[in-house]
Structure 1
Amino acid sequence: MFTGQPLPYFQPLIDTATGRIAGYEALARLRDDEGNVRSAGPLFTDPATPQEDLLELDRSIRRQALERFRDTPEGFLSLNISPAWISQLQPGKPLPSLQLLEEMGIASDQVVFEITELQGSIEQLREVVQRYRAAGIRIAIDDFGAGYSMLDRVLALEPDILKLDIQLFRQAAAGNGNSGDFVRALALMAEKSGCWIIAEGVETEQELHFALECGARYVQGYLFGQPAENFLPSEAVQQQFSRMRDHYVHAKLAEREKLAHLRRSLAELFAELRQWLQQGAQPARLPDPRNYPWLLRCFLCDAEGTQISPNFDWRDGAWQTDPRYLDHNWSWRPYFYQILAEAGEDSRVILSNRYRDATTNQYCMTSGLFIDDSRHLLLVDIDASAL
């Protein structure tokens, strides 16, 4: 049994294209006799709370949220739906949530049902989700990226919206480990499958910048608004968001300028390397790496990607020759597709995207230039962390 008066609180979701409040997520709260409000969330994960009490609480919050939203018809309302309740539904019977929308006269395209977890029977969940979608309701999945079994269930449900797992998102935005690349890959997968991304838990401008980098359609978090009992004007944070979005764009332009500077430096390096090759390719006469602090190594391949020279690595204050990779073919490496596709353009320096080298565990970039009428490919590995 829970104590306190159930009531919904609403947290805004900001449309990154406009900076306006596009909708709200309804969150469960309890108000005690002294007027203090606390989250009801812990009750839903407490095994000591009877399921019938939780169902009563859930339905009370949902009805109140829809009643409040009906008087504020702009935007959309996101409601949490637990598979635990869905598993109790009888096949073919009317769905209570759809009946509630019809009773209140709320258009289905103004509602998002957010699946809060992906447990239980996936077949039963998929059948109910299909009925929701047939009624015009959009489907979101929460905590995307958490749990090893998430991806197959996401593919089975074909949601419209994916909410990035808040803990994973924050680790990625902070630059912890490999989480950034992982979240970017998840966001790219979502984009390719036609899903919109919501980044929740956005509390700092750094986290907002990472959300924008991931292509998030909506952002949600204390940076723009804490959950509250009342709705805000749709333009309440528009100026704040626009200012921060401008900061992000300027930061990206600065990155582009750094990249342009790198390309100019690479052009100078390749000119020196071509001269070095013409003069006999003696390791001791390689360019001074102090002029190129990001330089890891250089080597030569034929036009098909087979290495025909040793690696020349700068280590311990001197150039070192490493013949272990002679006759290795690198054409299968993802960054090589981009470089090999430019065969025939002798004068153009090609630069790969950043990648993690499996041998050294470093984040690298590879730059290439075709020489000798495209018979040979001169390659340089770059330490991305030094840029």
Structure 2
Amino acid sequence: MLRGQPTAFFQPFIDTATGRIAGVEALGRLRQADGTYTSVGPLFADPHTPTPDLLQLDRTLREDALQRFASAPDDWFLSLNLSPRWISQLERGAELPSLAQLERSGIDPTRIVYEITEAAGDLPSLTQTVARYRERGIRIAIDDFGSGYSQLDRVLDLQPDILKLDMCLFQAAARGGTRGEAVKALAQMAEKTGCWLIAEGVETETELDFALECGARYVQGFLFAEATAELGASDSHQQRFASLRSRFVDGKLAQQTRLLELRQQLAEFVTQLRPWAEHGGPLSALPDPQAFPGLLRIYQCDRTGTQITPNLEWNGMFWRENRRYLNHNWSWRPYFYALLAEGWNERRLALSTVYRDATTNQYCLTASQFLESGQRLLLIDLDASQLPGFAK
């Protein structure tokens, strides 16, 4: 028995390009006799809640959301949660209640997004239903993307327009570490497949920064607004968002300035190294790298990426030789062939992005400079966590 009056609440999506509200997600609430509201989430998560009751609740909430969304600005979209369980129960080719409901509302289908959790439901039925939605111009979002039940093949089969990052994963990733790198990889996948990315659960400025770092098209969360029964004005959060975005951009510009300074310092260091690298000499002839507390090693490769000298490692006091990686070819590493291409084409010192070294588990940054008319490549590996402004 469901207690309370089903009511749709709305939480806005902030467009990161404009800072304006671009749309809202409808979230289910039950209005109690004392005027308070409770979330319907626990009901849907409880296996003991009768399925007919859930189906009726789901449709009632969507009906309420559609009716009240009719008064929203014309450029907004409405995101509605749709359970794959209901789709799996439909007979092949049967009328879709969600489409009939939408048609009765009179709302342009291109303003509707259906959010589907990809972890459940019969994939063939889901794929066919999604195709029918697309015929009407409805967009499809995958909810909780990256959660413990994610199946990448299902996501690719559904070809969504939008990916909503799993909130728990996103918030953990914003704190850094391996989850941060994994979410950035998911964001790159979204970009390459033409999906818009929504960062859900943005509650702090750090989480907003991470969402912007990932290229999120929209952000949603308590940092800007909780879900409410009323629809706000499009520009409700524009001024605040602009201020936060400016702070983020200023931080990125400062980071780029530090990169330019580091590049200049490294170029000067390479100038000191060049005579030794080109003509050889004892380790004692190498310069003291006091300007680079995070320097890990120096080595040389041929132009195909094969290491032709030992690693020369600085331990804080003196240089030592490590021959372990002689004749290893590093061109398989994405950052390495990028260095090869940039250094060869521009014939100047090239700098990689920060990456995590799989062998040492360190965050590193590699500088490279071609020598002897491009026949050899001098490389310098740095511990990024020891560089100002690059700590992870």
TM range (shorter): over 0.9
Q: Which amino acid aligns with 1:231?
A: L
- With normalisation by structure 2, the TM-score equals 0.95
Contact 2:140–2:160 (8 Å) recurs in 1: yes
1:169 match = 170
Contact 1:353–1:365 (8 Å) recurs in 2: yes
1:152 match = 153
Does residue 355 (structure 1) correspond to residue 331 (structure 2)? The answer is no
Q: Which amino acid aligns with 2:180?
A: G
Contact 1:22–1:234 (8 Å) recurs in 2: yes
For residues 157-178 of structure 1, the C-alpha deviation after alignment (integer angstroms, 9 at most, x for no partner) is: 0010000111111111111x21
For residues 88-113 of structure 1, the C-alpha deviation after alignment (integer angstroms, 9 at most, x for no partner) is: 21211111111111112111011111
Alpha-carbon distance change, 344 to 186 in structure 1, aligned in 2, over 3 angstroms: closer
In the TM superposition, residue 324 of structure 1 has moved relative to its aligned partner by 1.1
User: Structure 1 vs Structure 2: percent identity of aligned residues?
Assistant: 57
1:18 counterpart SS class:
coil
Equivalence map 1:76-155=2 (5 Å): 76-147=77-148, 149-155=150-156
Q: How many residues align?
A: 386
Q: Distance in 2 between matches of 1:158 and 1:84?
A: 19
Alpha-carbon distance change, 73 to 237 in structure 1, aligned in 2, over 3 angstroms: closer
Q: Distance in 1 between matches of 2:296 and 2:260?
A: 19
Does residue 258 (structure 1) correspond to residue 261 (structure 2)? The answer is no
Q: Distance in 2 between matches of 1:121 and 1:192?
A: 26
- The structure 1 segments of at least 4 consecutive aligned residues displaced by more than 6 Å after TM superposition are none
In the TM superposition, residue 114 of structure 1 has moved relative to its aligned partner by 0.5
Contact 1:346–1:370 (8 Å) recurs in 2: no
1:200 match = 200
2:373 counterpart SS class:
coil
1:328 counterpart SS class:
coil
1:325 counterpart SS class:
coil
Q: Distance in 2 between matches of 1:261 and 1:354?
A: 16
In the TM superposition, residue 148 of structure 1 has moved relative to its aligned partner by 5.4
5+ long unaligned stretches in structure 2: 388-392
1:48 match = 48
1:243 match = 243
1:301 match = 301
Q: Distance in 2 between matches of 1:346 and 1:88?
A: 60
Alpha-carbon distance change, 143 to 36 in structure 1, aligned in 2, over 3 angstroms: same
Q: Distance in 2 between matches of 1:122 and 1:202?
A: 30
RMSD: 1.5
Alpha-carbon distance change, 344 to 248 in structure 1, aligned in 2, over 3 angstroms: closer
Q: Distance in 1 between matches of 2:53 and 2:100?
A: 21
Contact 2:119–2:149 (8 Å) recurs in 1: no
Q: Distance in 2 between matches of 1:344 and 1:140?
A: 42
For residues 207-257 of structure 1, the C-alpha deviation after alignment (integer angstroms, 9 at most, x for no partner) is: 111111111111000011000010000011100011111111101100100
Q: Distance in 2 between matches of 1:55 and 1:343?
A: 61
2:22 match = 22
Alpha-carbon distance change, 227 to 357 in structure 1, aligned in 2, over 3 angstroms: same
Q: Distance in 2 between matches of 1:88 and 1:330?
A: 52
Q: Which amino acid aligns with 2:235?
A: E
Q: Which amino acid aligns with 1:12?
A: P
Q: Distance in 1 between matches of 2:166 and 2:196?
A: 14
In the TM superposition, residue 277 of structure 1 has moved relative to its aligned partner by 3.1
Q: Which moved further from structure 2: 248-257 or 326-335? A: 326-335
Contact 1:164–1:199 (8 Å) recurs in 2: yes
Q: Which amino acid aligns with 2:33?
A: D
Q: Distance in 2 between matches of 1:148 and 1:59?
A: 26
Q: Which amino acid aligns with 1:19?
A: G
5+ long unaligned stretches in structure 1: none
For residues 92-144 of structure 1, the C-alpha deviation after alignment (integer angstroms, 9 at most, x for no partner) is: 11111111111121110111111134312111111111111111100001011
Alpha-carbon distance change, 101 to 291 in structure 1, aligned in 2, over 3 angstroms: same
Contact 2:163–2:190 (8 Å) recurs in 1: yes
2:317 match = 317
Q: Which amino acid aligns with 2:34?
A: E
2:13 counterpart SS class:
strand
Contact 1:115–1:140 (8 Å) recurs in 2: yes
Does residue 375 (structure 1) correspond to residue 372 (structure 2)? The answer is no
Q: Which moved further from structure 2: 321-330 or 15-24? A: 321-330
Contact 1:26–1:65 (8 Å) recurs in 2: yes
Q: Which amino acid aligns with 1:292?
A: F
